[in-house]
């Protein structure tokens, strides 16, 4: 049966149990694969039916405040058969309506609820878009799933490429919601519910971050000190960590030794009566290896630390495998180490907490503090003066920045890529208008139309939003929270972890913490001097871990792709970049071949090449060319 084949195509997301329900009279079918985390008994089986028989639920994720909601429901006279959060979600929807219930949930979730009395299907996705939800609609036919690939066998799914989505992918290395890479499929956006009845699908927002920010910025406590803010953040984050540690199966945490993961693990360990299991991976290449830092933090906190060090010759065989876990083209190469650490952790635990979100909420990326300074600098420079200063900075050779200026400044402004890289990014921001700065500096391909032969007709994601009432730094933080987090970071974590049936949880991204982050002054996030962000999170962390173990240039969770494309990944790359194949999937073969040659000659073209390679890998697997 096709329906069961679609369901079991998601077995990696739910290896512990399988269920199905079919209402033959109206032609509604639900299928569920379950990864059992809370209430491992048959009482947690899905699809789950309400006691009255009116509602049927298929639910993915976790609602962390389910015990509080259960108490409210019990006080109102509802009774429960089991101990799962799924049952709480079901009865909450029955008691308060779908929208009212969704507004009460704190967690990561995507679910479908069918109302048999009204013959209405509801879809709901969590406020931050932590859990994925795809859907397709044609006429009276409607289908939804946690992954796009599960929908592809349906005969009415059109596999033609969404050109606007493809254009955005080559600009930002991901496909922004609500689009998918296919014209016939969409993603439900974060904080959104969908109502489908009588052949009509209508989306509405039950929690909108931009609207909340407008309200929250009016109540910022400008007099709050850094210490007071850290006190409040610790209370809130500790509560979230405690909730995220709820599990009937073994759990642990990813630990890189950076600010976010270290703060998370410090609070986990203080809440645990035994050593928390922590996991990290490293590479032989020192420039991409943080394992020593993670080891030092783990030793200080007393965790049960697990470490895996990899050689570059282990990577080539993994690249096409990891690319296959993503149901759309996805070119964030940190997906590979994320998969590796997930696979490593799954040998010991079923749930892992992750520190994702700290950079976006509390100002961890250099572009945020650069924006603050550039705004001040532009008040003293004319637009022409700003562009001239930018050109002068870019004209200075990289060797001067990296080998002369960087040591003279005590490496305070450096990063893993060196000082020259950051100076040129700074100059790029300085040399363009605010409205164009994010696009110009974050674009992988500055002009995707040169590669694709067409321009986007409709703006998606980042290109469709501006928040001029915010400071430039705050605007970029909000743009990242609404787009980059959902469509890149959280997509990466979900697919890489669920590929090995590991549930990854993100305590920093409960919507109450996100909202609170907008109620503190920007000065509690970004330093006035020096390249320092996340001030309030650092202040919290230093109460648990010495500064000396944390303070160092920011290092992303990536890998030396540029080097590998000239070595162990070269043959794989060339096999995907044959001119006939590039032409067949709509890419300009001459442009790609030129970029490939430049990279092989020593220029750094790995970011642009990676978007092409990941698209070609996806196209080959899904379209067949």
What does pLDDT average to in each consecutive run of 10 residues of the chain (625 residues)? Answer: 87 93 93 90 93 96 97 96 95 97 97 97 98 96 96 94 96 96 97 96 96 92 94 97 94 95 97 96 74 93 94 76 91 92 96 97 89 76 79 83 79 67 77 77 89 89 82 92 96 97 97 96 88 92 93 62 87 94 95 95 91 95 80
Determine whether the annotation assigns residue 161 to a binding site. no
Which H helix or E strand runs over 372? helix 366-378
Q: How remote is the C-alpha of 6 from its chain's centroid?
A: 25
Report the CATH fold assignment for 219-363+480-549. Answer: Rossmann fold (3.40.50)
Within a 10 A sphere around the Cβ of 281, how many other Cβ atoms?
A: 25
Q: How far is CA 275 from CA 180, 241, 299, 301, 447, in A?
A: 42, 15, 11, 9, 50
Strand partners, 142: 137
Rounded Cα distance between 599 and 623, Å, is 28
DSSP type of residue 571: H
Q: Residue 204: phi, psi to the nearest 5?
A: -150, 155
Closest C-alpha among 609, 78, 510, 566 to residue 312: 566
Rounded Cα distance between 585 and 575, Å, is 14
Q: SS3 of 508, please?
A: helix
For β-strands 17-23 and 28-34, DSSP reports them as antiparallel
Asked if residue 203 lies in contact with residue 188, where contact means CB atoms within 8 angstroms, the answer is yes
Asked if residue 170 lies in contact with residue 445, where contact means CB atoms within 8 angstroms, the answer is yes
What count of residues does the chain have? Answer: 625
Closest C-alpha among 488, 454, 242, 476 to residue 372: 476
Which H helix or E strand runs over 368? helix 366-378
Tell me how many degrees the CA angle 192-187-7 measures, rounded to the nearest 5. Answer: 110
pLDDT given for residue 558 in this prediction = 57
Torsion of CA 469, 472, 474, 478, to 10 degrees: 80
Crossing angle for the helix pair 419-430 and 434-442, nearest 10 degrees?
150
Asked if residue 168 lies in contact with residue 175, where contact means CB atoms within 8 angstroms, the answer is yes
Rounded Cα distance between 414 and 394, Å, is 16
Tell me if the domain spanning 1-207 has CATH number 3.40.50.360.
no
Ranges of each domain in the chain? 1-207, 219-363+480-549, 366-446+460-474, 561-623
Tell me how many degrees the CA angle 427-475-449 measures, rounded to the nearest 5. Answer: 60
Instruction: Give every CB contact of residue 176 below 8 A, 6+ residues apart in sequence.
Output: 165, 168, 460, 461, 462, 483, 487
Which H helix or E strand runs over 23? strand 17-23
Rounded Cα distance between 435 and 442, Å, is 13
pLDDT given for residue 554 in this prediction = 55
DSSP type of residue 581: H
Q: How remote is the C-alpha of 350 from its chain's centroid?
A: 20
pLDDT given for residue 442 in this prediction = 84
Determine whether the annotation assigns residue 208 to a binding site. no
Task: Report the phi/psi class of residue 339: left, alpha or beta, with left for phi > 0 and alpha for psi in -120 to 50.
Answer: alpha
pLDDT given for residue 415 in this prediction = 61
Tokens of 33: 């694969």
440-446: long-range pairs with CB below 8 Å, 24+? 441/367, 442/172, 443/171, 443/172, 444/170, 444/171, 444/172, 444/173, 444/331, 444/607, 444/608, 444/611, 445/170, 445/171, 445/608, 445/611
The model's pTM is 0.93
- Upper half-sphere CA count for residue 98 (Cβ side, 13 Å): 26
Q: Output helix, strand, coil percentages for the chain, rounded to the nearest 5.
A: 50, 15, 35
User: Sign of the C-alpha dihedral, residues 511, 516, 518, 523?
Assistant: negative
Determine whether the annotation assigns residue 418 to a binding site. no
Cα separation of the two ends of the chain: 28
Determine whether the annotation assigns residue 85 to a binding site. yes
Q: Give the 3-state DSSP-derived string for 31-50, with helices as H, strands as E and coil as C.
A: EEEECCCCCCCHHHCCCEEC
> Looking up tokens 């779908």, which residue turns up?
98
Crossing angle for the helix pair 335-346 and 490-498, nearest 10 degrees?
40
Cis omega before residue 47 (within 30°)? yes
Which H helix or E strand runs over 308? strand 304-310
pLDDT given for residue 510 in this prediction = 96
Cis omega before residue 394 (within 30°)? no
> Looking up tokens 């919507």, which residue turns up?
511
User: Sign of the C-alpha dihedral, residues 353, 355, 356, 360?
Assistant: positive
Q: How remote is the C-alpha of 97 from its chain's centroid?
A: 29
Rg (CA), the chain: 24
């Amino acid at each position: 049966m096709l329906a069961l084949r679609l369901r079991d195509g998601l077995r990696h997301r739910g290896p512990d149990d399988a269920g199905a329900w079919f209402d033959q009279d109206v032609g509604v079918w639900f299928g569920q694969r379950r990864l059992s985390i809370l209430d491992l008994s048959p009482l947690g089986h899905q699809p789950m039916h309400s006691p009255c028989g009116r509602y049927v639920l298929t639910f993915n994720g976790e609602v962390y405040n389910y015990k509080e909601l259960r108490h409210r429901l019990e006080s109102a006279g509802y009774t429960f058969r089991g101990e799962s959060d799924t049952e709480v979600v079901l009865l909450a929807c029955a008691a308060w309506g779908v929208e009212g219930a969704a507004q009460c949930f704190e967690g990561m979730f995507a679910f479908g609820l069918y109302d048999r009395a009204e013959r209405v299907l509801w879809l709901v996705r969590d406020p931050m878009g932590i859990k994925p939800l795809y859907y397709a609609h044609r006429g009276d036919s409607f289908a939804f799933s946690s992954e796009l690939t599960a929908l592809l066998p349906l005969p009415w799914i059109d596999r033609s490429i969404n050109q606007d989505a493809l254009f955005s992918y080559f600009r930002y290395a991901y496909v922004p919601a609500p689009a998918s890479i296919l014209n016939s499929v969409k993603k439900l956006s974060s904080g959104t519910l969908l109502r489908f009845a009588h052949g009509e699908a209508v989306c509405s927002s039950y929690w909108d971050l931009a609207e909340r920010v407008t309200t929250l910025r009016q109540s910022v406590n400008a007099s709050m000190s850094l210490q007071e803010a850290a006190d409040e953040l610790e209370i809130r984050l500790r509560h979230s960590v405690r909730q995220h540690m709820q599990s009937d199966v073994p759990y642990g945490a990813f630990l890189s030794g950076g600010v976010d993961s270290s703060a998370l693990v410090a609070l986990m360990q203080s809440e645990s009566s035994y050593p928390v299991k922590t996991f990290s991976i490293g590479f032989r290449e020192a420039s991409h290896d943080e394992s020593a830092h993670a080891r030092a933090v783990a030793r200080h906190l007393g965790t049960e630390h697990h470490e895996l060090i990899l050689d570059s010759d282990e990577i080539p065989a993994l690249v096409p495998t990891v690319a296959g876990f993503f149901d759309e083209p996805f070119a964030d190469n940190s997906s590979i180490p994320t998969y590796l650490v997930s696979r490593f952790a799954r040998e010991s635990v079923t749930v892992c907490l992750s520190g994702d979100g700290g950079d976006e909420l509390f100002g961890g990326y250099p572009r945020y503090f650069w924006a603050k300074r550039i705004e001040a600098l532009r008040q003293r420079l004319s637009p022409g003066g700003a562009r001239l200063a930018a050109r002068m900075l870019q004209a200075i050779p990289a060797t001067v920045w990296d080998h002369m200026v960087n040591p003279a400044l005590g490496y305070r402004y450096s990063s893993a890529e060196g000082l020259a890289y950051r100076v040129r990014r700074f100059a790029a921001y300085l040399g363009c208008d605010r409205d164009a700065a994010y696009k110009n500096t974050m674009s992988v391909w500055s002009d995707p139309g040169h590669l694709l032969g067409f321009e986007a007709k409709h703006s998606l994601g980042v290109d469709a939003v501006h928040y001029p009432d915010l400071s430039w730094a705050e605007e970029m933080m909000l743009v990242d929270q609404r787009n980059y987090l959902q469509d890149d970071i959280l997509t990466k974590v979900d697919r890489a972890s669920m590929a090995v049936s590991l549930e990854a949880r993100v305590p920093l991204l409960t919507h109450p913490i996100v909202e609170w982050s907008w109620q503190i002054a920007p000065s509690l996030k970004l330093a006035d001097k020096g390249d320092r962000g996340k001030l309030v999170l650092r202040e919290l962390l230093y109460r648990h871990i010495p500064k000396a173990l944390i303070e160092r240039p920011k290092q992303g969770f990536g890998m030396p792709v540029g080097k590998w494309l000239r070595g162990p990944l070269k043959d794989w790359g060339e096999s995907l970049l044959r001119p006939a194949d590039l032409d067949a999937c709509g890419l300009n073969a001459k442009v790609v071949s030129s970029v490939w040659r430049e990279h092989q000659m020593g220029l750094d073209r790995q970011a642009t090449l990676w978007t092409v390679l990941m698209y070609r890998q996806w196209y080959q697997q899904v379209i067949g060319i």
